[in-house]
Chains A and B, each alone.
Chain A
Amino acid sequence: MSIAEMPTQVIILPDVPVQPEPRPAPVRRSRTDLYVVGGLAAVVLFFMAWNITGFPTATDDEGTYLAQAWAVQNGQGLAHYTYWYDHPPLAWIQLAGLAWLPAMLFPDLIAVAAGRIAMLPVVAASLVLVYVISRRLELSRWAAALALLTFGLSPLSITMNRQIYLDSFAVAWMLAALALALSPRKHLWHYAAAGAATAVSVLSKETMLLTAPAVLVAMWQNAAKTSTRPWAFGGYTSGIVLVGVFYPLYALLRGELFPGEGHVSLIGAWQFQLMSRSGSGTVFDEGSGSHSLITSWLYYDTVILAAGLVATVIALAVRRLRAPAIAATILAVVALRPGGYLPAMYVVQILPFFAIVIAGVTDEGVRRLEPQRSWWRWAILGVAAATALTLVLPRWYVGDRRALTTDDNAQYVAAATYLRDELPDPERATIVVDDVLWIDCVDAGFQREKVIWFYKLDLDTAVARTLPDGWRDVDYIVSTPALRQDPGSLPTVTKLLTNSTPIATFGPEDGRIEIRRIDKEKP
C-alpha cells in the first residue's frame, strides 16, 4: 500500500486563518493615574521643599553621611575617615551622585542644607512608588492618593524625609522592589529586578532587610497559579544574591572581610553591631532611650503611627494588603522589642508601609460598606470621613506649619559664616567640629586633615597619631549640641572644652554654638 492508496481524506481546504500568537492585550491605561500621581507628588514636594534648610535642626548623622558622600565625590574612598563597615556604602554613593548639583546651584547654603535638597528626588521616587504599589494592590484611585498624601504630608514624615538619612534611599529601593514584585505582567525580569532592588536597598541601609519578606510574599501572591512561579523566584534569588554579593566581595578584595590585627573588617563590624552594641532600653521603660525616641516621633505625628499600627493588624487579614502589612508588622515588632538598639531615623522605614495599609484598610472598609446600596451607607461614610478629618487636619496643620516656618539652623549658618569669613589663617589651623560643619570647614579653606570630627579624636588611632602633642595641637573647637551630647564619654573632647575660651557664640541657650580657641598654655 502506497501513500496514494492509504485511507487519507483528501479534501480541498479553504485557507485556515493564521492564528497569531496569544499575546497579552496591550494595556490601554488611562493617563488619569499619571496626572493624579504627578499632581499630588508636586504638592507634597512643595511642602517638603519649603523651608527644608530651616527645619528640622541639622544633626550630626546628616553631616556624617554627607561628608562620606563628599569623600566618594572627591575620590577619597568610601568615608572621610577610615571606612569601618559600619553601614554598607551604597546610600551615600547615591547621595554623592545627587548632592553635587544643589551644592553647585546654592553655594551660599551650608553643606547640610544643600545636601537636604538632594533628598527631594529620593522622596519623590518614594511618593510615586507608594502610589504605584497601592494601585497594584488593587486600591481605588482615591485610596492610592490617600496613601500618597498620608505618606507625604504627615508632619513626622516631612520632618524625617527632609533629613539626609540612608534610610530614605533604602526605602525608595525597597518600595521599587515591592512594585516590581507586583508586576502586572508577571515578567521574569521584573522579578529579577525586584531582587536587585532589594539588594540595593539592603546595601543602602542594612536594617531594610527586615522588610524583604514583604517582597517575597508579594511575589508569591502575584505569581500564584502561574506556570512560571519557580522561575520568578529563581530570578529574584539571582537578583538579590548577585548584586548583594558585591559588598562582601569588596571587603574580600581589600583583605577586610575577616577580622584581623591592624585592620577593620566587615565581619568584625557585624560582630560589634549585633553583639556589643548596647541597647537603648525598652519602649515601656520611661527613662530609656527608646522611650524618649518614640515619644519624640509621637510628638511630631501621633496619627500616622497610631492609625498605622491599628491598620496593620487589620491588613494582615486582608490578602491583597498582606505584603505591606507584613513589612509594617516586622518593623513595628522590632521597634518595640525589649532591649534592642533603636536608631533615631528608624521610623523612616515604617512610614510608607503604614501609609499604604492605612489607605488599604480604608479602601477595604469602603468596599465592604458598599455605599452605593443606600443613602444611609453614604451617611455613615460621610460621618466617618468628617470625623477622621477633624481628628487629623488640626494636628497636621500645626505640625506642617511648624515645618514650613521654623528656622532651627540659623546658628549653624551663622557659625559657618563666621568660620569662613572671620577666622584668621584657616590654612594652618587645626579645628575640631561636629560633622554638620565638617564640609563647611573644608570649604572655608581648612586643610582636610586638620578638620577633625570630634568623635574620631578619641576613637580613631589614626587621627590621634596626627596630633603628637595631644589636645595642644588643636587650635579651635566648635562646641555644638551634638558635640556636648554625651559629656565625659570622650575625654579629649572634654579636655578641649575645659581648656578653651569662646571667641564667638551663636543661638539660644539650648542650641548654643560656640567657637572656642584652645588655651594651649594651660597646664
Chain B
Amino acid sequence: MIVVSLVLAGFAAVTLWWTMHAWRTPETLASTRFAAPDGEHRLTFSLLVPARHEQAVLEHTVQRLLESTHEGFEIIVIVGHDDPETAEVAHRVAATAPGRILVVTDTNEQKNKPRALNTALPYCRGDVVGVFDAEDQVHPQLLEHVDHAFRSTDADVVQGGVQLINFHSSWYSLHNCLEYFFWFRSRLHLHARKGFIPLGGNTVFVRTDVLRAANGWDGTCLAEDCDLGVRLSSRGAKVVVAYDSAIVTKEETPGTLTSLLKQRTRWNQGFLQVYRKGEWRRLPEFGQRMLARYTLTQPFLQAFSGIVIPIGIAIAIWAQLPVFVALITFVPVIPMAANLVFQTVGLRDFGLQYGLRTRWHHYARLILGAFPYALVLAVAALRAVWREYTGKRNWELTAHTGAHLTKQPVKAESGVAA
C-alpha cells in the first residue's frame, strides 16, 4: 500500500514537473515563443489538408489559408473517392485560386489520415510540408513565423501551437481546452529540448526531403503524428516547438462526450502502437528512451492512477489502517491537487491570452469536473487497451461542427512581436 502510493506520487510529481516546464522561470517562458520574423520569405510550403466528410468547414479553412501573408505556398486538399460532397467543395474552392490549390483524390480502399497524407506526398513541390486539419483556423502570419523559425534554428521540423478554443461549450471541453493549453504551451517544449517528441496532428511542418527520407507517414498507425515525431526524433531530426497565442491554430473540441471518448481512444491506441513498434529504442540516450517509454505509456499510467488512488484512500479510511499508512495514501493527491491549482491559474492565463472571459462558474466547472474528466480519460485508456488487444484497429473519426469559427478578437500576450 505504502509502496504503491509512493510510486503513484512519484509518477504524478514527474508529470506535474514536466507539465509545468514552460513556466519554471521567466526565461523558459520567453524561450517558448516564436522569435519575431524578419519579413523575408525564403522557403516554399506545401500545405496538406486532408478532408473527409468535412464539407461544412473545409471551404472556410482553405479560404483562411489563402489569406496567408507568406508568398510561397501551395495548398493540397486530399479528398476520398467515396466522398463526393467534400470533393465538390474542394474542387469549387480550388477553382477560385488556380495554381495555389491542388485537389488530390485518395483511392485507398481503407481510408485514414496517414494514407491520405501519403497519397499527397508525391505532389508536394515546396521545401516544407505542412499539415492542417479541415476544421483548422490558421492565422495568416503563421507561415512567415514558421519560415523564420526554420531558418533561424536550422530545424528539420517546426511544430506550431494548436489550441482548442470553445472552453465554454461543455464541462469536458473546458478540461479538453486546458489539456491542449498545457500540452502545446509547455510540455511539448520539454520534449523538443530533450530530443524526443510526439508531434501534434496539425500545424506541424517538416522539411520535404526529411519527410520523404522517412517514407512519409505510417498508414497503419492510429496516431500517425506521434509516430512521425518518434521516428524523426530517433533519426536525430531537430524539432523546434513555438507557441504564440496570437498565431496559434484554433480548433474545436469534439462535439459530444462519445466523440471525445473515441478520439481519445484512438490516440491512446496509437500511442500504444507506437510503443509496440519500438522505434523509440533507437534513441541514442538512455534519458531519451526513458522519456519515450514514459510518455507513450503515460495515458495508461494516468488512467491507472486515476482509479487506484481513490480506491487506495477508500481502503485506508474504511479498513481502519494505521493513521500513518492512511496519511501515505494521501501523498499522491498532493501533485494531483497541485495540478488542479495550476490548471486554475492556467484557465485565467488562457482567458487573458485569448481575450475570452472566464467567469466563476468556469472555475467551478474546472474543479468539479476534474474527477469526472479523469474518469473519461481512464475509460478511453481502458478502451484503447481492449481494442488493441482484440485487434480492432479501424479509424474512429471525430465529427466537426465548427463551434470555434466565431469571430473572436485575439489579444496578443504581452511581449509577443506578431
* Chain A residues close to B by CB (< 8 Å): 1-9, 11, 13, 15-16, 18-19, 21-24, 185-189, 192, 226-228, 230-231, 233-235, 237-239, 241-243, 246, 249-250, 253-254
Distance, CA A243 to CA B337, complexed state (A): 11
- Among the 9-residue stretches B268-276, B292-300, B344-352, B358-366, the one with 4 or more Cβ atoms under 8 Å from chain A is B344-352
Please indicate the chain A residues that have their CB under 8 angstroms from the CB of B26 in the complex.
186, 226-228
Is the pair B24, A188 in contact by a Cβ cutoff of 8 Å? yes
Distance, CA A239 to CA B16, complexed state (A): 13
Q: Known contacts being A5-B99, A188-B24, A231-B345, is A18 close to B125, with CB within 8 Å? A: no
Most A CB contacts (10 A, CB to CB) among B23, B26, B152 go to B26
Residue B334 at the chain A interface, CB threshold 8 Å: yes
Distance, CA A18 to CA B42, complexed state (A): 17
Q: Mark B3-43, 1 if CB is under 8 A from A, else 0.
A: 00000000000000100100111110111000100001110
Is the pair A242, B338 in contact by a Cβ cutoff of 8 Å? yes
Distance, CA A200 to CA B42, complexed state (A): 57
Please indicate the chain A residues that have their CB under 8 angstroms from the CB of B342 in the complex.
231, 234-235, 238
Distance, CA A3 to CA B27, complexed state (A): 39
Please indicate the chain B residues that have their CB under 8 angstroms from the CB of A11 in the complex.
42
Residue B327 at the chain A interface, CB threshold 8 Å: yes
Residue B213 at the chain A interface, CB threshold 8 Å: no
**Interchain CB contact (< 8 A) of B42 among A9, A227, A228:** A9
Which 7 residue pairs spanning A and B have beta carbons closest together? A1-B99, A238-B338, A234-B345, A8-B72, A226-B26, A231-B23, A238-B341
**A192 to chain B: closest residue by CB:** B338
Q: Known contacts being A187-B24, A188-B20, A254-B323, is A228 close to B193, with CB within 8 Å? A: no
Distance, CA A188 to CA B341, complexed state (A): 13
Q: Known contacts being A18-B153, A250-B323, A250-B327, is A189 close to B24, with CB within 8 Å? A: yes
Distance, CA A227 to CA B349, complexed state (A): 10
Please indicate the chain A residues that have their CB under 8 angstroms from the CB of B125 in the complex.
2-4
Distance, CA A386 to CA B194, complexed state (A): 58
**B17 to chain A: closest residue by CB:** A189
Is the pair B99, A253 in contact by a Cβ cutoff of 8 Å? no
Q: Give the interface residue-count category, chain B.
A: 35 or more
Q: Known contacts being A1-B98, A21-B193, A187-B25, is A7 close to B74, with CB within 8 Å? A: no
Distance, CA A246 to CA B71, complexed state (A): 60
Interface residues of B in 196-244 (CB under 8 A from A): none
Is the pair A22, B31 in contact by a Cβ cutoff of 8 Å? yes
Residue B44 at the chain A interface, CB threshold 8 Å: yes
Is the pair A9, B327 in contact by a Cβ cutoff of 8 Å? no
A/B pair count, beta carbons within 8 Å: 110
Q: Known contacts being A227-B30, A231-B342, A234-B342, is A16 close to B154, with CB within 8 Å? A: yes
Please indicate the chain A residues that have their CB under 8 angstroms from the CB of B44 in the complex.
3, 6, 8
Please indicate the chain A residues that have their CB under 8 angstroms from the CB of B99 in the complex.
1-2, 5
Distance, CA A19 to CA B148, complexed state (A): 12
**Interchain CB contact (< 8 A) of B74 among A3, A185, A238, A243:** A3
Shortest Cβ distance from residue B25 to the other chain A in the assembled complex, whole angstroms: 5
Q: Known contacts being A3-B126, A237-B341, A242-B334, is A227 close to B414, with CB within 8 Å? A: yes
Residue B151 at the chain A interface, CB threshold 8 Å: yes
Please indicate the chain A residues that have their CB under 8 angstroms from the CB of B330 in the complex.
246, 249
Is the pair A13, B42 in contact by a Cβ cutoff of 8 Å? yes
Interface residues of B in 95-138 (CB under 8 A from A): 98-100, 125-126
**A5 to chain B: closest residue by CB:** B99
Shortest Cβ distance from residue A436 to the other chain B in the assembled complex, whole angstroms: 30
Shortest Cβ distance from residue A16 to the other chain B in the assembled complex, whole angstroms: 5
Is the pair B27, A22 in contact by a Cβ cutoff of 8 Å? yes
Please indicate the chain A residues that have their CB under 8 angstroms from the CB of B25 in the complex.
24, 185-188, 228
Please indicate the chain A residues that have their CB under 8 angstroms from the CB of B93 in the complex.
none
Interface residues of B in 281-327 (CB under 8 A from A): 316-317, 323, 326-327
Distance, CA A442 to CA B207, complexed state (A): 78
**A8 to chain B: closest residue by CB:** B72
Please indicate the chain B residues that have their CB under 8 angstroms from the CB of A21 in the complex.
31, 193
Shortest Cβ distance from residue A496 to the other chain B in the assembled complex, whole angstroms: 36
Is the pair B338, A7 in contact by a Cβ cutoff of 8 Å? no
Is the pair B31, A6 in contact by a Cβ cutoff of 8 Å? no
Distance, CA A227 to CA B414, complexed state (A): 9
Is the pair B72, A6 in contact by a Cβ cutoff of 8 Å? yes
Please indicate the chain B residues that have their CB under 8 angstroms from the CB of A250 in the complex.
323, 327
**Interchain CB contact (< 8 A) of B327 among A23, A227, A233, A246:** A246
Distance, CA A7 to CA B151, complexed state (A): 19
**B27 to chain A: closest residue by CB:** A24
Residue B415 at the chain A interface, CB threshold 8 Å: yes
Is the pair A22, B30 in contact by a Cβ cutoff of 8 Å? yes
Please indicate the chain A residues that have their CB under 8 angstroms from the CB of B23 in the complex.
188, 228, 231
Q: Can you spell out 13 A-B residue pairs with CB atoms less than 8 angstroms apart?
A: A8-B44, A9-B41, A13-B42, A15-B154, A19-B152, A185-B25, A226-B26, A228-B26, A234-B341, A235-B342, A238-B338, A249-B330, A254-B323
Distance, CA A106 to CA B83, complexed state (A): 88
- Supply 6 further A-B pairs (C-beta < 8 A) apart from A189-B24, A226-B26, A227-B29: A3-B44, A19-B152, A186-B26, A192-B338, A239-B338, A242-B337
Please indicate the chain B residues that have their CB under 8 angstroms from the CB of A15 in the complex.
154
**B155 to chain A: closest residue by CB:** A18
**A13 to chain B: closest residue by CB:** B42
Distance, CA A233 to CA B74, complexed state (A): 46
Distance, CA A212 to CA B44, complexed state (A): 57
Distance, CA A227 to CA B412, complexed state (A): 13
**A183 to chain B: closest residue by CB:** B25
**B32 to chain A: closest residue by CB:** A21
Distance, CA A24 to CA B42, complexed state (A): 31
Distance, CA A21 to CA B238, complexed state (A): 13
Shortest Cβ distance from residue A347 to the other chain B in the assembled complex, whole angstroms: 34
Shortest Cβ distance from residue B185 to the other chain A in the assembled complex, whole angstroms: 11
**B43 to chain A: closest residue by CB:** A8
Most A CB contacts (10 A, CB to CB) among B41, B71, B338 go to B338
Shortest Cβ distance from residue B309 to the other chain A in the assembled complex, whole angstroms: 14
**B98 to chain A: closest residue by CB:** A1
Please indicate the chain A residues that have their CB under 8 angstroms from the CB of B345 in the complex.
230-231, 233-234
Please indicate the chain A residues that have their CB under 8 angstroms from the CB of B46 in the complex.
3
Please indicate the chain B residues that have their CB under 8 angstroms from the CB of A238 in the complex.
337-338, 341-342
Is the pair B71, A8 in contact by a Cβ cutoff of 8 Å? yes
Distance, CA A22 to CA B40, complexed state (A): 23
Shortest Cβ distance from residue B417 to the other chain A in the assembled complex, whole angstroms: 15
Distance, CA A19 to CA B35, complexed state (A): 11
Is the pair B72, A230 in contact by a Cβ cutoff of 8 Å? no
Please indicate the chain B residues that have their CB under 8 angstroms from the CB of A2 in the complex.
74, 99, 125
Distance, CA A241 to CA B334, complexed state (A): 9
Distance, CA A295 to CA B42, complexed state (A): 80
Distance, CA A241 to CA B338, complexed state (A): 9
Shortest Cβ distance from residue A358 to the other chain B in the assembled complex, whole angstroms: 32
Distance, CA A46 to CA B35, complexed state (A): 56
Please indicate the chain A residues that have their CB under 8 angstroms from the CB of B152 in the complex.
16, 19
Is the pair B71, A230 in contact by a Cβ cutoff of 8 Å? no
Shortest Cβ distance from residue B42 to the other chain A in the assembled complex, whole angstroms: 6
Shortest Cβ distance from residue A141 to the other chain B in the assembled complex, whole angstroms: 26
Interface residues of B in 38-91 (CB under 8 A from A): 40-42, 44, 46, 71-74
Is the pair B323, A253 in contact by a Cβ cutoff of 8 Å? yes
Shortest Cβ distance from residue A490 to the other chain B in the assembled complex, whole angstroms: 32
Please indicate the chain B residues that have their CB under 8 angstroms from the CB of A13 in the complex.
42, 151
Is the pair A3, B344 in contact by a Cβ cutoff of 8 Å? no
Is the pair B327, A253 in contact by a Cβ cutoff of 8 Å? yes
Shortest Cβ distance from residue A191 to the other chain B in the assembled complex, whole angstroms: 10
Please indicate the chain B residues that have their CB under 8 angstroms from the CB of A241 in the complex.
337, 341
Distance, CA A333 to CA B344, complexed state (A): 36
Distance, CA A189 to CA B16, complexed state (A): 11
Please indicate the chain B residues that have their CB under 8 angstroms from the CB of A227 in the complex.
26, 29-30, 413-415
**A189 to chain B: closest residue by CB:** B24
Most A CB contacts (10 A, CB to CB) among B154, B337, B342 go to B342
**B329 to chain A: closest residue by CB:** A253
**A25 to chain B: closest residue by CB:** B27
Please indicate the chain A residues that have their CB under 8 angstroms from the CB of B73 in the complex.
3
Distance, CA A21 to CA B27, complexed state (A): 10
